[in-house]
């Protein structure tokens, strides 16, 4: 039952009314009556709702329940509220799970425990991943699809999720999605204090934590802005070394006919060849320090700046060139960005000044490395001192490359505009990792055993699906795109379901903003418990 206009009996005492210009009659509860300094009778009143014009009953606001939860109105004891719970957040997340198909896939793959998994994922979206407070959350939240859980039950649930069950979920989830879209692949690290997680090892830590870590590789849809698949691997394995396994695993899971957008850090000869052998398309940036990149830039640094190559949407220039790299026929897209040129030049001369300062302090016995010789002519023959001067020819060569970058692809049909647009959209993965690590609180693992860690990470992935899709709906609407996700959660948390002493339930009146948020998310709050 959806309550469009919930009402309660109007209290009989200590009530006054005020009529607004639009005809609405508001009811006020008299907190106290007294005389002012001049001896005139006055009172302190609090608005508790408005009068229903048809029934004469009260359409209550939140203050009504605050007052009459503590003070039972005379002759109306059966209508004092026995419980007030949040219901907006959980209703929204239930609806998101239906819209994405996540709840259907979970029911199929985890028929015995999908409800507990949904409850844990919903809690993570609302409160983060510190599970010790989940029993309090159940007290405050109207969850009608799962029995109560505490942190011990959560740990048992995490440990019970097997590798086979997770894999079956991913196969089913990927098949259910079936979108033909560009997929971003990237890696981040999750730190841990535990010594009992076998894949937690020392490696390159992106958060600069002096802790062992787990590497998290994830696929993310550019169009849907939703996570597709993830895997965990040893924190000591370099990202580019793991790509080959990830791609082989991809085909086995049923991800085919997609184009991967990958970071330049994954580019190696073996990885590019392996991508071709598997039949995958890709878009990536060429590392600026590669000799091949420098050669491409030098050959095209003047021709790319022509008016015919201007991409007005991004206010830069781009052109396409066919190249051969590692025996592969590929397509290089060369771009010149005037704004980037100004930044690059400033950084170039700042670097030169820093190197010059270091050379001036260097004694004659100090070995001069290549990083200095790339910018300066060094004369170290005179044993009395180190002499040097700026190599203006080399500096000019570097300056002429300022503002130019190269994207690489094996999809011939994509022009330079398409490639740039797709590659720039890869920032969805960075936003995705930010959501996962900071908003869902997975920057550091708070588990101590491998099985529990794997299971909790999986529930976190489910929470990320819910959060990502919900955030996408909010950002697509002009009515809600200015709201932070935290503000939306706060507004939804304010939506209350009130259980009265006769066990009937009413929904507190919704604000305009709450109605807008629910409408954008496609949510209708029902206080009926599901029959199945």
* DSSP assignment of 23-81: SPEEEEEEEEEEE-TTS-EEEEEEEEEEE-TTT--EEE-HHHHHHHHHSPPTT-GGGSE
Question: From residue 29, how far is each of 55, 65, 325, 328 by CA, in Å?
Answer: 19, 12, 79, 80
Write out the two tokens for 383: 């044993």
Using an 8 Å Cβ cutoff, are 410 and 276 in contact?
Answer: yes
Q: What pLDDT does 4 receive?
A: 46
Strand ranges of the sheet holding 505-507, from the earlier edge strand across to the other edge: 81-86, 496-500, 505-507
Q: How many domains are contained in the chain?
A: 3
Residue 221 three-state SS:
strand
Residues 106, 253, single domain; the answer is yes
- For 205, phi then psi, to 5°, come to -100, 115
Residues 475, 378, single domain; the answer is no
Q: What pLDDT does 247 receive?
A: 76
Residues 14, 120, single domain; the answer is no
Total residue length of the chain: 532
Q: Is residue 405 part of a domain?
A: no
Residues 55, 118, single domain; the answer is no
Residues 170, 22, single domain; the answer is no
Q: Is residue 241 part of a domain?
A: yes
Domain boundary among 79, 96, 121: 79
Measured in whole angstroms, the distance separating CA 28 from the mean position of its chain's CA atoms is: 44
Residues 75, 92, single domain; the answer is no
For residue 54, give its domain range. 1-79
From the list 113, 115, 158, 154, the residue with the least C-alpha distance to 455 is: 158
Residues 69, 187, single domain; the answer is no
Using an 8 Å Cβ cutoff, are 197 and 226 in contact?
Answer: no
Q: How far apart are CA 137 and CA 150, in angstroms?
A: 10
Residues 133, 251, single domain; the answer is yes
**pTM for the full predicted model:** 0.70
Q: What pLDDT does 400 receive?
A: 94
Contacts of 526 (CB under 8 A, 6+ apart): 1, 2, 91
Residues 94, 239, single domain; the answer is yes
Low-confidence stretches of the chain (pLDDT beneath 50): 1-5, 70-78, 193-194, 196-207, 210, 235, 530-532
Domain boundary among 384, 400, 416: 400
Using an 8 Å Cβ cutoff, are 415 and 338 in contact?
Answer: no
Question: From residue 216, how far is each of 30, 163, 242, 260 by CA, in Å?
Answer: 59, 16, 11, 17
Residues 240, 109, single domain; the answer is yes
Task: Tell me which H or E stretch contains 352.
Answer: helix 338-360
From the list 67, 54, 38, 71, the residue with the least C-alpha distance to 4 is: 54
Q: How far apart are CA 84 and CA 505, in angstroms?
A: 10
Q: How far apart are CA 80 and CA 500, in angstroms?
A: 6
Q: Is residue 415 part of a domain?
A: no
From the list 28, 14, 142, the residue with the least C-alpha distance to 76 is: 14
Domain boundary among 21, 47, 79: 79
DSSP strand E in 344-393: where? Answer: 376-379, 387-390
Q: How far apart are CA 433 and CA 427, in angstroms?
A: 10
DSSP strand E in 95-252: where? Answer: 182-192, 213-221, 227-234
Q: Is residue 330 part of a domain?
A: no
Residues 188, 99, single domain; the answer is yes
Helices (H) and strands (E) in the chain, counts: 18, 19
Burial classification of residue 58, based on how many CB atoms lie within 10 Å of its CB (0-12 exposed, 13-18 middle, 19 or more buried): buried
Q: What pLDDT does 216 receive?
A: 77
Residue 228: count other Cβ atoms within 10 Å of its Cβ: 23
Q: What pLDDT does 435 receive?
A: 73
Using an 8 Å Cβ cutoff, are 286 and 406 in contact?
Answer: yes
Residues 245, 362, single domain; the answer is no
């Amino acid at each position: 039952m959806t309550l469009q206009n919930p009402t309660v009996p109007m209290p009989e005492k200590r009530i006054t009314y005020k009529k607004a210009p639009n005809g609405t009659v508001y009811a006020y509860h008299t907190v106290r009556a007294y005389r002012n300094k001049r001896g005139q009778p006055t009172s302190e009143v609090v608005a508790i709702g408005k009068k229903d014009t048809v029934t004469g009953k009260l359409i209550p606001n939140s203050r009504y329940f605050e007052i009459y939860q503590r003070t039972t109105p005379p002759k109306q004891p059966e209508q004092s509220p026995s419980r007030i719970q949040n219901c907006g957040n959980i209703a929204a997340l239930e609806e998101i799970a239906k819209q994405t198909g996540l709840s259907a896939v979970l029911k199929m793959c985890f028929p015995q425990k999908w409800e507990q998994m949904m409850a844990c994922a919903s809690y993570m979206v609302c409160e983060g991943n510190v599970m010790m407070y989940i029993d309090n959350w159940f007290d405050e939240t109207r969850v009608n699809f799962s029995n109560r859980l505490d942190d011990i039950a959560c740990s048992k649930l995490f440990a019970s999720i097997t590798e086979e069950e997770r894999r079956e979920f991913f196969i089913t989830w990927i098949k259910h999605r079936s979108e033909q879209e560009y997929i971003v692949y990237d890696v981040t690290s999750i730190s841990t204090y535990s010594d009992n997680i076998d894949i937690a090892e020392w490696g390159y830590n992106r958060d600069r934590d002096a802790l062992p870590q787990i590497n998290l590789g994830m696929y993310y849809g550019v169009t849907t802005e939703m996570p597709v698949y993830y895997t965990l691997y040893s924190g000591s394995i370099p990202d580019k070394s793991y790509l080959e396994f990830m791609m082989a695993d991809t085909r086995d899971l049923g991800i085919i006919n997609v184009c991967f957008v990958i970071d330049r850090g994954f580019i190696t000869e073996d990885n590019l060849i392996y991508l071709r052998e598997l039949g995958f398309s890709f878009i990536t940036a060429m590392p600026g320090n590669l000799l091949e990149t420098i050669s491409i830039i030098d050959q095209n640094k003047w021709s790319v700046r022509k008016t015919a190559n201007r991409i007005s949407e991004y206010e830069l220039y781009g052109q396409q060139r066919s190249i051969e790299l590692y025996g592969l026929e590929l397509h290089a897209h060369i771009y010149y960005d005037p704004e980037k040129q100004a930044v690059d030049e400033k950084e170039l001369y700042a670097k030169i000044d820093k190197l010059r300062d270091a050379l001036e302090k260097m004694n004659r016995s100090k070995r001069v490395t290549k990083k200095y010789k790339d910018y300066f002519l060094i004369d170290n023959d005179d044993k009395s001192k180190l002499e040097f001067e700026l190599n203006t020819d080399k500096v000019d060569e570097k300056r002429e490359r300022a503002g130019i970058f190269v994207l690489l692809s094996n999809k011939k049909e994509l022009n330079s505009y398409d490639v740039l647009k797709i590659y720039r959209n890869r920032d969805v993965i960075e936003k995705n990792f930010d959501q996962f690590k900071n908003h869902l609180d997975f920057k550091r693992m708070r588990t101590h055993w491998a099985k529990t860690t794997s299971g909790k990470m999986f529930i976190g992935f489910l929470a990320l699906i819910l959060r990502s899709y919900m955030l996408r709906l909010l950002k697509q609407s002009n009515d809600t795109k200015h709201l932070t996700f935290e503000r939306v959660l706060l507004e939804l948390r304010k939506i209350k379901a009130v259980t009265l002493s006769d066990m009937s339930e009413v929904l507190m009146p919704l604000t305009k903003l709450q109605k807008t948020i629910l409408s954008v998310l496609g949510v209708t709050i029902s206080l009926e418990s599901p029959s199945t």
